[in-house]
Amino acid sequence: MRADVTVRDMSRIFPLAVTLTVSVLLTTACSSAGSVQVVPQPVTARQAATMIGATGYTDCGPAPGGGITSSGVAVYHGAVYGFDAFADDSSRDAWVQAVKAFGIVPRLKGHSWVAYLPVGKGLGCAAI
C-alpha cells in the first residue's frame, strides 16, 4: 500500500473499518473530555400528565405571565391535579416559590413541570 493513502482512500477500501475507527476515536475523545452534556428537553403539561399515568387531560393553554408554557388538568389517583410546564427548571422553581403564598404546593415535579392539587373550587381549567 502507498504511504500517502488518505482516510478517503481507506474508506473506499475498508468502509466499515474506517467508520468504526472514527466512531471509537470520537467516543473516546468525547468521554474523556467530559464536555458532552445531555440536556433534556422541556415537556408539555399533557406529556407530564401522560408520563405519570393521569387520565382525562384537559388543555388549559399557556400563561406566559407566570412563565407557564402549557397547563392543564387531569385525574391522577382519583383526584384532579393541575399540570403546568415551563421553559426550564429555573422558571419552574421561581413559579413554585411564588405560588407558596397561595397554598399551592407541587405534589409531583419533573424536568420543567409540576403537578399539584388545585386550590380553586371550579371544575376543569377553572380549578387551576
Q: Give the start-to-end residue ranges of the domains of the chain.
A: 1-37, 45-127
Give the tens place of pLDDT for each residue, 31-50: 445 677 766 677 999 999 99
Give the tens place of pLDDT for each residue, 12-36: 444 444 343 434 444 444 444 567 7
CA dist., res. 74 & res. 96, Å (int) = 19
This prediction has a pTM of: 0.67
Q: Are 110 and 45 in contact (CB under 8 A)?
A: no
pLDDT for res 10: 42
CA dist., res. 83 & res. 113, Å (int) = 7
One of 3.30.200, 1.20.120, 3.40.50, 3.20.20 is the CATH number of 45-127, namely 3.30.200
